[in-house]
Amino acid sequence: MGDRREGAALLHDRLWQVRARDRHYLFVCSQNKLRSPTAEQIFADHPGIETLSAGTNHDAETPLDNEMLRWADTIFVMEKTHRSKIL
């Protein structure tokens, strides 16, 4: 459990290092069941930020699509494999 908290804290710190004008954040994991929806909810209440989450798998709760990619100013992936699937 400690690793997850450390990861969330690191993500939180990194989020605030992102350029101030970037306000649309997309969080991506495989199934969009745990990791990316959790990240989306953590940051959804921050003023001036809009969040979405999606999964790279075709059977994800919310599958990633091109419209989401165009919408996002910044995309946070949970694993390197997710980045590879997006690029």
pLDDT in tens, 22-70: 799 999 999 999 999 999 999 988 888 899 999 999 999 999 999 999 9
| Range 2-86 classified under CATH 3.40.50.2300 | yes
pTM: 0.77
Structure token digits, residue 52: 């979405």
Inter-helix orientation angle 2-15/35-44, to 10° = 50
Please report, for the chain, the start and end positions of each structural domain, with discontinuous segments joined by +. Answer: 2-86
Give the pLDDT confidence of 2-22 residue by residue, as tens digits. 555 555 555 556 655 555 567
- Mean local confidence (pLDDT), 72-84: 93
Angle value at C-alpha 37, between 76 and 24, nearest 5 degrees: 45
